[in-house]
Structure 1
């Protein structure tokens, strides 16, 4: 129990030093991946993979948005 509390305090302390990070898609992907990984006994690996996949999907959506904005409008 002490290790869990110490880990939570450490994580909260380090989060304060993180600054402004681009986490679009990572948080939601990490939660979903962590839950799926927990079902098979690999919670942290699932969270890491979910974060990577969520970030990839967010980048892909942003590229599509950028392409549609940059297309010239025919008059």
Structure 2
């Protein structure tokens, strides 16, 4: 479990250093939470992958909800 948490933290720091927050939005937080929860059940890598997918989906859903209330510009 300690190695999975260390790996998740290293991946999070590495992805922050790359500087592509638009593509990884929600994925890092979801992967860390999913990795920790999955490691409790013995499936840390699957938990991290699922957490990334769910976190990214939720971040996109929040972005779409925020854009619907804003008027379009340039017309």
Gaps of 5+ in 2: none
Regions of 4+ moved over 2 Å: 18-21
Q: In the alignment, does 2:64 pair up with 1:56?
A: no
TM-score by length of 1: 0.67
TM-score by length of 2: 0.67
Q: CA RMSD in A?
A: 2.5
Query: C-alpha distance in 2, partners of 1:27/1:20?
Result: 11
Structure label with greater radius of gyration: 1
1:30 is aligned to 31
Gaps of 5+ in 1: none
Query: C-alpha distance in 1, partners of 2:43/2:28?
Result: 17
Aligned residues: 60
Instruction: Give a deviation string over 1:12-53, Cα, whole Å, max 9, x none.
Output: 8xx69x673611100000000000000000000000000000
